[in-house]
């Protein structure tokens, strides 16, 4: 049953193959014309930034265009933080800035003066893993491993965000304490895509760490 | 080692390591961000420069001019290498359909046409935007698959036939005749294609992300007209592939071209918005299925005819393959059509053929069961076959499909399912249950390995096998450990380097079965080498507790030799294997909720039962299956690489536009592995599961949506817009 | 991405003045959409003015009993504010339905309002798009184009893009007011319904803001009470833009407000449709979507909008 809405299907235009081509070429030309007359920056296009990464003070002079992700991966050689899409669509670049998880691909390095950044390398090493890393290995919370550092960054943050009372899309009553449920974890982890499909195992890993944390009350 | 007869009783039947749940030996590296992926290997070459691709913005035609002057004058830019100036290069292989780089001709949207080399990523990207290209554009022709289908659907020349389908279908008391569509799919692996290339004295090294090292080495050698031994490919960690990294992609060609030009190492990663059109995809299909049966449910006639689009020279999505062998039926008709279209390259994606084919066939089986008034489990059980329906003299080596269905039905509580549309409701949600059968071949490929025993007793396995998340590192360690009497932790596994012995690589779900057999062969050779070193007969030795036992003493592997002992061998599969059908089977059961108002569909639980021979490692095998199930949920409910039929490209070409499942889409998942062995498959009696996990899942979901709502959707993905106007009022 | 220079603003008025002084300058807050677009050279500022640290990160109470939300309050902080949760739950619900946890931690209130469409033709610089390259045509309105996600109402023959925000839809239902500072230091109040403008013949013009004008706050009126809900419909369960979303505020007497997301170039609400709320979803949508002009691919959004509201109104 369709709604009693008064509407008209919008007319579309036809595009012949050659016209499409001419258009594409024309657009390219237009972009070129624009680029020839592009203005220069209004000031210096590099900046020296001081920030702390995994507890170590760093000073880097960056092209202003450099993202936090690329500073980590290219300048500081901290390649544990991954570039999956570079557009905030996958979560592989998730790291922690001043205690809050963000997509480092959608953040300019110049905007992190004085910030404390934590990457996967700051959490644990193969010889001394963080409990979340241990749980990911135990429950096989990954396959190819490329999204994994971002998943682990988010996993740790998700437990803290729930404990801090930050509501999510699936939170029931907005005005009472939020429980750590499967549904809450899944929703809050949804900004981290795993194409290998390890989601169920990641949930198991997070759940174990969350329960341990509750028991020990020291996380 | 030749594998010429079915495996008899062997050490794997009394295994201590193989088949035991073992967490990944590469796990600690992956979870700490220390496993090195292609683009981030700062240590392998000095002074790496950055290459940024420039891609064509037309679907078909040719370049008439490229102006790179502005780009070359940009800060930090060393050079711009264009396709017209490079000229046509040899095609990397006959498996690459689209040209990757070189020449003026444009065969697909986002074909690579230049690479800008600069000191930094930011500089290269900015300069790439300044490259100016003019095209002469060809008519792209029709991209209307439906129209192409209508043109050819009655052409049955060269169809695969058994018996007389038409007559049997005509006379069958119960029939269905339905048409289904599946859209194009994108692999959408998390790591974009990426390569670092360096030339040294005319020799090329490429650090890349590739599933098939030997193929990649050969492809690069062919493209750059080198001897294969002058090309080294290294790909130890691969951030997902699902088929798109079976073949060399343009990142490797661009990096190698650029590195040769500038005389320095160059790295290239394909930016995400370019990946979907530049690389490859699973082609969309239209599939007509006709089934005729006796009133008691015996299939007497089955026809599966399909069309898929394909690039000139491409092979499309072979949706009909599984129907040749999955179900019984004396009269059969199978026909695949290709419609040549000016779309980006279609190529293999996880379970190529079966993934799309079972999306249709397993709805059709349900529709037929309903027509017969039969339970869908019972209907499938009744039509099981233990021989190839096209060649009844050819048995299946091992087939336990019926057990998959029955075990699954029992574990899932199928008997308590919703039985009438709309009859089970949970608040605003209509609850439905669905199942589907799964079928995928169990191929094996020759695979080699080298094993080193160090004076310290360390066992090192080297093979050009790859681990794309499948667990190769771990199962190869387990295999070597089993044969040499050590623990998996004692074994170091080195993969992905073309300087190691050729291996099966990762594709077609042949990797695990083949490469473990190859390591077995090498480990047997190592036993012999140790026997030779000790001057003993290998039959008199046993290997356990990191020691060799002779009749009178126990010699630890550590200190066994002052020098490294090296042994190498490969497994080769004899013709006997193809005298039977070696395949894998499964059954998927799902419960969905469909919002009675909006038509939103959400999974509530999933179960897979798999019959794939010996399960080498239940942890990693289970991960393969649940991962396939997730991809199946994507195919059922959201994945759609929609085509702009005016311009010949996929407009929604990033991870926001092409939706794949997220955490919130995936419910509790259970996997049951039948305790089966397939002696015809490999010495380990194992087969793959990586693609089986995907096969049939989408149809199980579609069947559950029907069960919940009473609305049958035959077009994927089963999004709400396809049925909201047919939903009963809430 | 083009080269640009960068400065940190010291206060809102100075930021606005600087922006007016430098042609092609842009403000940056969270940057989650701006940076995304700069990488594709869809946005090409030559100068960025960082406005995160100019005193706009507080949520304060107004004399009228409402809330004044600093433009740089993050989406997470706004959704989690106890006053918002208690008195404006539709806003918390809408924000939590958008993007991902990571993006909400960074995205700001003003940035969310000013984010640009996710139309795939807008996002591919090689394709025609009147919004990105005025006069080049609308890629989505060609026969054979992909338009399933795009707008059904308020669109024009030049552009059928939607505004992608969830937060703004709730703010529209709440009759929020946007406060700005202009380059000459004046403050201005703009009703949220007037902030976004319809494409008409100039789809590149998306808001009523003048060059250099900076959003400083969003003011919510005193709490309106009622039952508040936000239902976002999408293909996957999370981290996706809406096919249709509905913000609903319903009073005990059946009156209230309905705003839609995912259907129009701006949060979509009509007073005459609100007036039909006591008469049910069909009556509301007959008014709210009257004159719609969907494509064949997205006409389903009309039915979907009605059924979504029916679900929220618990119509049997």
Is pLDDT of A1 > 80? no
Q: Which helix (H) or strand (E) holds B441?
A: strand B429-441
Residue of B22, B28, B33 to mutate, testing the A interface (most A Cβ within 10 Å of its Cβ): B33
Q: CB-CB: which of A24, A32, A119 is closest to B132? A: A32
Clarify whether residues A170 and A215 are in a common domain: yes
Residues of B with CB under 8 A from a CB of C: 57, 75, 122, 125-126, 129, 143, 273, 428, 595-600, 602, 637-638, 642-647, 651-654, 656-657, 659-665, 717, 719-721, 724-725, 727, 730
Is pLDDT of A218 > 70? no
SS3 at position C238: coil
Kindly state the tokens that stand for A216: 């020990």
* CB atoms inside a 10 Å sphere around CB B556: 11
Q: Please name the residue of chain B whose CA is at the shortest distance from the CA of residue C144.
A: B645
* Residue that terminates a domain, selected from B551, B573, B595: B573
Cβ distance of B656 and A203 shorter than 8 Å: no
Cβ distance of C36 and A87 shorter than 8 Å: yes
Is residue B261 within 8 Å of residue B272, measured between CB atoms?
no
Residue count (chain B)? 730
Mean pLDDT by 10 residues, chain C (316 residues): 98 97 96 98 98 98 98 98 98 98 98 98 97 97 96 98 98 98 97 98 98 98 98 98 98 97 98 98 98 97 98 93
DSSP of B613-680: BB-S-HHHHHHHHHHHHHHHHHHHHT-----BTTTTB-S--STTTS----GGG--EEEEEE-----TT
Clarify whether residues B658 and B546 are in a common domain: no
Clarify whether residues B616 and B504 are in a common domain: no
Q: Is B594 left (phi over 0), alpha (psi -120 to 50) or beta?
A: beta
Per CB-CB distance under 8 Å, the chain A contacts of C126 are: 24, 27-28
Cβ distance of C304 and B654 shorter than 8 Å: no
In a domain, B359, yes or no: no
In a domain, B402, yes or no: yes
Kindly state the tokens that stand for A84: 């999956």
* Residue A2 binned pLDDT confidence (cut-offs 50, 70, 90): low
Per CB-CB distance under 8 Å, the chain A contacts of C30 are: 106
- What is residue A3's predicted lDDT score, i.e. its pLDDT? 61
Clarify whether residues B568 and B638 are in a common domain: no
Clarify whether residues B672 and B690 are in a common domain: yes
Kindly state the tokens that stand for B321: 């393959």
In a domain, B232, yes or no: no
Per CB-CB distance under 8 Å, the chain C contacts of A107 are: 31, 35, 106
Per CB-CB distance under 8 Å, the chain C contacts of A68 are: none
Per CB-CB distance under 8 Å, the chain B contacts of A92 are: 190
Residue B555 sits at φ, ψ, to 5 deg, of -115, 115
Clarify whether residues A84 and A133 are in a common domain: no
In which residue are the tokens 């039962």 written?
B609
- Report the distance separating Cα C215 and Cα C12, nearest Å: 9
Q: Boundaries of CATH 3.30.390.50 in chain C?
A: 227-313
The CATH code of the domain that includes A77 is 3.10.20.30
Q: Which fold has domain C227-313?
A: Enolase-like; domain 1 (3.30.390)
Clarify whether residues B589 and B456 are in a common domain: no
- Report the distance separating Cα B175 and Cα B297, nearest Å: 10
CA distance A117 to chain B (A): 16
Cβ distance of A12 and C142 shorter than 8 Å: yes
Dihedral of CA B628/B633/B635/B639: which sign? negative
Cis peptide before B717 (omega within 30 of 0): yes
* Residue that terminates a domain, selected from B573, B601, B617: B573
Clarify whether residues A140 and A80 are in a common domain: no
Residue B22, C-beta contacts closer than 8 angstroms, at least 6 positions apart:
B474, B478, B488, B617, B619, B620
Cβ distance of B595 and C311 shorter than 8 Å: yes
- Report the distance separating Cα B91 and Cα B93, nearest Å: 5
Query: What average pLDDT does range B442-469 have in this prediction?
Result: 98
The CATH code of the domain that includes B681 is 3.30.365.10
A 117-176 residues inside an 8 A Cβ radius of C: 154, 157-158, 161, 164-169, 171, 174-175
Clarify whether residues A102 and A137 are in a common domain: no
Residue count (chain A)? 219
Nearest residue to C302 via CA among C278, C283, C286, C316: C286
Residue of B134, B647, B664, B709 to mutate, testing the C interface (most C Cβ within 10 Å of its Cβ): B647
Which is more confidently placed, B310 or B421?
B310
Is residue B444 within 8 Å of residue B514, measured between CB atoms?
yes
Clarify whether residues A133 and A198 are in a common domain: yes
Clarify whether residues A112 and A185 are in a common domain: no
Q: Helices A148-163 and A199-216, interaxial angle, to 10°?
A: 40
In a domain, B697, yes or no: yes
Per CB-CB distance under 8 Å, the chain B contacts of A150 are: none
Clarify whether residues B712 and B591 are in a common domain: yes
- What is residue A214's predicted lDDT score, i.e. its pLDDT? 58
Clarify whether residues B594 and B716 are in a common domain: yes
CA distance A114 to chain B (A): 23
**What tens digit of pLDDT does each residue of A12-70 get?**
887 654 444 444 444 544 444 444 456 899 999 999 999 999 999 999 999 999 999 99
- What is residue A31's predicted lDDT score, i.e. its pLDDT? 45
Cβ distance of B240 and A196 shorter than 8 Å: yes
In a domain, B656, yes or no: yes
Clarify whether residues A200 and A134 are in a common domain: yes
| A to C CB pairs, distance under 8 Å | 207
pTM of the entire predicted model? 0.97
Query: Which among B214, B354, B403, B691 is annotated as catalytic?
Result: B691
In a domain, B213, yes or no: no
* Residue that terminates a domain, selected from A67, A92, A122: A122
SS3 at position C301: helix
Residue B186, C-beta contacts closer than 8 angstroms, at least 6 positions apart:
B275, B276, B281, B282, B639, B641, B650, B653, B658
Residue B597 vs residues B139, B163, B331, B463, B548: alpha-carbon distances, Å: 44, 48, 44, 55, 69
Torsion of Cα atoms, A164 then A165 then A171 then A176, to 10°: 150
- Chain-centroid distance, C-alpha B113: 28
CA distance A145 to chain B (A): 5
- What is residue A32's predicted lDDT score, i.e. its pLDDT? 41
Kindly state the tokens that stand for A15: 């595009």
In a domain, A6, yes or no: no
Range of the domain at A106: 41-122
- What is residue B422's predicted lDDT score, i.e. its pLDDT? 87
Clarify whether residues B539 and B529 are in a common domain: yes
Cβ distance of C100 and A190 shorter than 8 Å: yes
Cβ distance of C315 and B730 shorter than 8 Å: yes
**What tens digit of pLDDT does each residue of A121-137 get?**
999 999 999 999 999 99
Is residue C233 within 8 Å of residue C242, measured between CB atoms?
yes
**Alpha helices for chain C (secondary structure H):** 12-21, 34-39, 75-80, 82-87, 89-96, 101-106, 109-114, 120-123, 167-173, 192-195, 271-274, 281-288, 300-312
With contact defined as 3+ CB pairs under 8 Å, the chains touching B are A, C
Clarify whether residues A218 and A134 are in a common domain: yes
Cβ distance of C4 and A7 shorter than 8 Å: no
**What tens digit of pLDDT does each residue of A129-167 get?**
999 999 999 999 999 999 999 999 999 999 999 999 999
- Domains in chain A: how many in total? 2
DSSP of C95-156: HHTSS-HHHHHH-BHHHHHH-----HHHH-TTS--TTTSTTS--GGGBTT---TTS-SSS-B
| B to C CB pairs, distance under 8 Å | 112
Cβ distance of C238 and A6 shorter than 8 Å: no
Domain covering C5-52 in this structure, CATH number: 3.30.43.10
Is residue B143 within 8 Å of residue B643, measured between CB atoms?
yes
Clarify whether residues A80 and A128 are in a common domain: no
Residue A215 burial (10 A CB sphere; 0-12, 13-18, 19+) = exposed
Residue of C162, C232, C235 to mutate, testing the B interface (most B Cβ within 10 Å of its Cβ): C235
- Report the distance separating Cα C96 and Cα C22, nearest Å: 36
Clarify whether residues A98 and A165 are in a common domain: no
CA distance A136 to chain B (A): 7
CA distance C312 to chain B (A): 9
| N-terminal to C-terminal alpha carbon distance within chain B | 65
* Residue that terminates a domain, selected from B546, B573, B600: B573
**What tens digit of pLDDT does each residue of B552-585 get?**
899 999 999 999 999 999 999 999 999 999 999 9
Clarify whether residues B468 and B556 are in a common domain: yes
Per DSSP, B396 falls in state: B
Q: Boundaries of CATH 3.30.43.10 in chain C?
A: 5-52
* CB atoms inside a 10 Å sphere around CB C1: 22
Verify whether residue B691 is a known catalytic residue: yes
- What is residue B421's predicted lDDT score, i.e. its pLDDT? 87
Clarify whether residues A144 and A109 are in a common domain: no
**Strand partners for B233:** B206
Dihedral of CA B673/B677/B681/B684: which sign? positive
In a domain, A24, yes or no: no
Kindly state the tokens that stand for B301: 């006639």
- Domains in chain B: how many in total? 2
Q: CB-CB: which of C233, C237, C241 is closest to B665? A: C237
In a domain, A5, yes or no: no
Cβ distance of B651 and C300 shorter than 8 Å: no
Kindly state the tokens that stand for C116: 């640009």
Residue B723, C-beta contacts closer than 8 angstroms, at least 6 positions apart:
B599, B705, B709, B711, B713
Per CB-CB distance under 8 Å, the chain A contacts of C303 are: 2-3
- What is residue A11's predicted lDDT score, i.e. its pLDDT? 86
Clarify whether residues A139 and A51 are in a common domain: no
In a domain, B515, yes or no: yes
3-state helix, strand, coil in chain A (%, to 5): 40, 15, 45
The CATH code of the domain that includes A143 is 1.10.150.120
Cβ distance of A13 and C141 shorter than 8 Å: yes
* Residue that terminates a domain, selected from A122, A152, A177: A122
- Chain-centroid distance, C-alpha C169: 6
- What is residue A216's predicted lDDT score, i.e. its pLDDT? 43
ipTM: 0.98
Nearest residue to C138 via CA among C161, C117, C159: C159
Clarify whether residues B563 and B597 are in a common domain: no
In a domain, A155, yes or no: yes
Per DSSP, B98 falls in state: S
Residue count (chain C)? 316
Range of the domain at B456: 10-35+444-573
**Alpha helices for B129-182 (secondary structure H):** 145-152, 165-171
- What is residue A12's predicted lDDT score, i.e. its pLDDT? 85
* CB atoms inside a 10 Å sphere around CB A134: 19
Indicate the average pLDDT of chain B. 97
3-state helix, strand, coil in chain C (%, to 5): 30, 20, 50
Clarify whether residues B591 and B721 are in a common domain: yes
- Report the distance separating Cα B249 and Cα B231, nearest Å: 16
Clarify whether residues B564 and B483 are in a common domain: yes
Q: CB-CB: which of A24, A74, A140 is closest to B121? A: A74
């Amino acid at each position: 049953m369709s709604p009693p809405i008064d509407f008209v299907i919008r007319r579309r235009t036809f595009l012949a193959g050659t016209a499409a081509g001419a258009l594409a070429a024309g657009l390219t030309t237009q972009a070129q014309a624009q680029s020839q007359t592009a203005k220069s920056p209004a000031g210096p296009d590099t900046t020296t930034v001081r920030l702390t990464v995994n507890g170590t003070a760093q000073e880097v002079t960056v092209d202003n265009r450099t993202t936090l992700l690329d500073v980590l991966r290219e300048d500081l050689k901290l390649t544990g933080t991954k570039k999956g899409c570079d557009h905030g669509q996958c979560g592989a670049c998730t790291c922690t800035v001043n205690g809050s998880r963000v997509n480092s691909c959608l953040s300019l390095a110049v905007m992190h003066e004085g910030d404390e950044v934590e990457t996967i390398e700051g959490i644990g090493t193969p010889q001394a893993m963080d409990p979340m890393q241990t749980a990911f290995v135990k429950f096989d919370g990954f396959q190819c491993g490329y999204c994994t550092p971002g998943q682990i960054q988010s996993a740790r943050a998700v437990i803290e965000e729930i404990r801090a009372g930050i509501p999510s899309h699936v939170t029931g009553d907005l005005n009472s304490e939020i429980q750590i449920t499967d549904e809450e974890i899944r929703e809050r982890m949804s900004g981290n895509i795993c194409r290998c499909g390890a989601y169920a195992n990641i949930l198991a890993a997070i759940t174990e760490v969350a329960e341990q944390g509750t028991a020990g009350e020291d996380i | 080692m030749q594998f010429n007869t079915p495996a008899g009783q062997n050490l794997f039947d009394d295994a201590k390591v193989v088949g035991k749940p073992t967490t990944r030996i590469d796990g600690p590296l992956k979870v700490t961000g220390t496993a090195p992926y292609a683009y981030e290997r700062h240590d392998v070459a000095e002074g790496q420069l950055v290459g940024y691709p420039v891609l064509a913005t037309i679907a078909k035609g040719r370049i008439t001019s490229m102006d790179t002057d502005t780009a070359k004058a940009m800060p930090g830019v060393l050079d711009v290498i264009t396709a017209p100036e490079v000229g046509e290069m040899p095609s990397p292989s006959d498996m690459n359909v689209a040209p990757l780089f070189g020449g003026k001709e444009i065969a697909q949207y986002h074909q690579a046409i230049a690479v800008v080399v600069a000191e930094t990523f930011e500089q290269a990207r900015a300069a790439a935007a300044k490259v100016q290209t003019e095209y002469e554009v060809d008519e792209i022709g029709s991209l209307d698959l439906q129209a192409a289908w209508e043109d050819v659907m009655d052409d049955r020349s060269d169809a695969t036939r058994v018996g007389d389908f038409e007559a049997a279908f005509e006379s069958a008391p119960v029939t269905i005749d339905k048409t289904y569509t599946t859209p194009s799919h994108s692999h959408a692996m998390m790591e974009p294609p990426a390569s670092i290339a360096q030339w040294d004295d005319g020799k090329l090294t490429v650090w890349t992300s590739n599933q098939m090292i030997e193929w990649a080495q050969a492809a690069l050698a062919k493209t750059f007209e080198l001897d294969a031994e002058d090309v080294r490919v290294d790909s130890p960690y691969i951030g997902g592939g699902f088929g798109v990294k079976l073949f060399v992609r343009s990142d490797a060609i661009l990096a190698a071209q650029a590195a040769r030009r500038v005389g320095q190492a160059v790295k290239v990663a394909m930016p995400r918005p370019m990946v979907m059109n530049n690389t490859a995809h699973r082609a969309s299909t239209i599939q007509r299925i006709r089934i005729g049966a006796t009133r008691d449910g015996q299939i007497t006639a089955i026809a599966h005819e399909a069309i898929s689009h394909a690039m000139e020279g491409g092979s499309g999505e072979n949706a009909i393959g599984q129907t040749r062998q999955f179900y019984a039926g004396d009269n059969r008709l199978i026909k695949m059509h290709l419609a040549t279209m000016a779309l980006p390259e279609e190529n293999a994606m996880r379970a190529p053929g079966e993934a799309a084919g079972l999306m249709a066939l397993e709805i059709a089986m349900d529709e037929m069961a309903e027509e017969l008034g039969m339970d869908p489990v019972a209907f499938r059980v009744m039509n099981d076959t233990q021989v190839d329906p096209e060649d009844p003299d050819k048995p299946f080596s091992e087939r336990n499909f019926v057990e998959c269905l029955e075990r699954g039905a029992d574990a899932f509580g199928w008997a308590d399912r919703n039985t009438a549309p709309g009859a089970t409701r949970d608040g605003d949600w209509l609850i439905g249950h669905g199942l589907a059968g799964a079928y995928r071949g169990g191929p094996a490929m020759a695979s080699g390995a080298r094993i080193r025993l160090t004076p310290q007793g360390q066992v090192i396995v080297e093979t050009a096998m790859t681990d794309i998340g499948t667990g190769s590192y771990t199962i190869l360690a387990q295999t070597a450990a089993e044969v040499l009497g050590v623990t998996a932790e004692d074994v170091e596994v080195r993969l992905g380097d073309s300087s190691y012995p050729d291996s099966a690589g990762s594709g077609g779900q042949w990797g695990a079965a083949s490469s473990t057999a190859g390591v077995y062969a090498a480990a047997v050779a190592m036993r012999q080498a140790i026997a030779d070193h000790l001057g003993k007969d290998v039959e008199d030795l046993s290997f356990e507790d990191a020691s060799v036992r002779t009749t009178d003493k126990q010699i630890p592997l550590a200190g066994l030799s002052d020098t490294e002992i090296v042994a190498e061998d490969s497994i080769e599969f004899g013709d006997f294997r193809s005298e039977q059908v070696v395949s894998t089977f499964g059954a998927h059961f799902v419960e969905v909720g469909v919002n009675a108002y909006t038509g939103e569909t959400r999974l509530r639980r999933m179960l897979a039962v798999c019959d794939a021979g010996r399960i080498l490692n239940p942890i990693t095998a289970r991960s393969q299956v649940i991962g396939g199930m997730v991809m199946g949920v994507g195919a059922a409910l959201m994945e759609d690489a929609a085509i702009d039929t005016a311009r010949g490209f996929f407009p929604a070409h990033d991870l926001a536009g092409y939706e794949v499942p997220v955490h919130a889409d995936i419910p509790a998942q259970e996997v049951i592995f039948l305790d089966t062995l397939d002696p015809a498959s490999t010495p380990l009696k194992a087969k793959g599961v990586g693609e089986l996990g995907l096969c049939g899942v989408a149809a199980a979901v579609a069947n559950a949506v029907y069960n919940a709502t009473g609305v049958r959707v035959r077009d994927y993905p089963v999004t709400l817009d396809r049925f909201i106007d047919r939903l009963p009022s809430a | 991405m083009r080269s640009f220079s960068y400065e940190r603003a010291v206060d809102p008025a100075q930021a606005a003045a600087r922006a007016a002084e430098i042609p092609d300058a842009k403000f940056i807050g969270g940057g989650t959409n701006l940076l995304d677009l700069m990488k594709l050279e869809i946005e090409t500022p030559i100068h960025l003015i960082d406005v995160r640290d100019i005193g706009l990160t507080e949520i304060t109470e107004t004399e009228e009993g409402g809330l004044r939300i600093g433009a740089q309050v993050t989406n997470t902080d706004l959704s989690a504010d106890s006053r918002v949760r208690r008195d404006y739950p539709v806003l918390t619900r809408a924000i939590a339905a958008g993007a991902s946890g990571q993006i909400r931690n960074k995205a700001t209130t003003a940035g969310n309002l000013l984010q640009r469409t996710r139309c795939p033709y807008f996002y591919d610089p090689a394709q025609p798009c009147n919004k990105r390259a005025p006069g080049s045509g609308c890629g989505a309105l060609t026969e054979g184009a992909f338009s399933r996600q795009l707008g059904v109402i308020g669109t024009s023959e030049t552009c059928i893009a939607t505004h992608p925000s969830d937060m703004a839809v709730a703010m529209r239902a709440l009759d929020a007011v946007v406060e700005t500072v202009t380059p000459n230091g004046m403050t201005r109040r703009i009703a949220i319904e007037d902030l976004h403008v319809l494409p008409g013949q100039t789809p590149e013009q998306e808001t009523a803001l003048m060059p250099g004008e900076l959003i400083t706050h969003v003011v919510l009126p005193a709490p309106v009470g009622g039952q508040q809900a936000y239902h976002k419909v999408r293909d996957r369960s999370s981290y996706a833009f809406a096919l249709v979303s509905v913000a609903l505020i319903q009073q005990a007497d059946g009156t209230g407000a309905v705003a839609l997301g995912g259907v129009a170039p701006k949060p979509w609400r009509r007073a005459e449709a609100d007036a039909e709320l006591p008469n049910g979803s069909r009556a509301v949508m007959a008014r709210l979507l009257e004159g719609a002009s969907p494509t064949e691919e997205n006409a389903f959004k009309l039915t979907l909008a009605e059924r979504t509201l029916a679900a929220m109104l618990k119509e049997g």
